[in-house]
Amino acid sequence: MSENKTATTVADLTKVKPYGDTLNDGKVEMAFTLPVPYGEEAEECAKQYVKKLGFEEPNVTYYHELAPGYTFFVVYGSAQQTIDYTAIKVPKVEGTVMDRVECGEWIGENVGRDITVVGASIESDAHTVGIDAIIQMKGFHGHFGLERFKHVVPYNMGSQVPCEELIAKAKEVNADAILVSQTVTQKDIHIMNLTKMVELVEAEGLRDKVILTCGGPRISHELAQELGYDAGFGPGKYAEHVMSYIMQEVVKRGWQDKPLIADR
């Protein structure tokens, strides 16, 4: 009895499926809108669509008219595909992550000076939630921002900051790192803005003279590197993740004496 129970409660990480009521039942909840009028035909349309996606036993648990000709659905289905979790390799920011106090102590012992960073939400992005979470003293979700870190001098330039102004500020304060935040992602506007920033930094001849990082709800380390950044920080990352990377990178690059940007 116990052997059978073990066999059905231990997941095979080479064949991972969604978990709902029981292991490997593949149960998935989906929410979507179809451009069809509300009614029984709409319900059947949603079921058939989910089947074409590869799910079995679709069950529409809720549907509602959003507007004439548009219906919203909540549907359950059973996924059949599996993923080999053991084969997944995700690019990650290198280095040891330390908490706020540890970061301050590490900088004092290994850098021997303050680390200066400038950050902003660039171009058309009017949201400061991301950059404030990283820089402002209160931080976010119990994680204090860089203003609370010892041996860190942060400048928060706010939102809708042209890339040229952020770069000029970095040069003015001889920053070690630039933090770029992008919250708005509709139609991949964040990709365009982030690309513009990299191109201007390169045009100024500063690409290897400043640590360039970015963050936002759709940012990953892999995407950031593809766009030309040194590191990317997405959901679940806080000020300590950002500073842990920056301070270790400062030492790695031999910037302990803090040369001027132009002389690095």
Which residues neighbour 247 within 8 Å (Cβ) at sequence distance 6 or greater?
A: 103, 106, 107, 110, 111, 115
Candidate list 15, 92, 138, 252, residue with the active-site label: 138
d(CA 244, CA 242): 6
Which residues neighbour 41 within 8 Å (Cβ) at sequence distance 6 or greater?
A: none
Cβ atoms 154, 131 nearer than 8 A:
no
d(CA 206, CA 96): 26
Q: Is 15 labeled as catalytic in the residue annotation?
A: no
Q: What angle do CA 46, 54, 71 make, to 5 degrees?
A: 15
Give the closest residue to 216 by CA, choosing from 193, 199, 200: 193
Give the other-Cβ count within 10 Å of 134's Cβ: 28
Which residues neighbour 2 within 8 Å (Cβ) at sequence distance 6 or greater?
A: none
- Which amino acids are annotated catalytic? 138
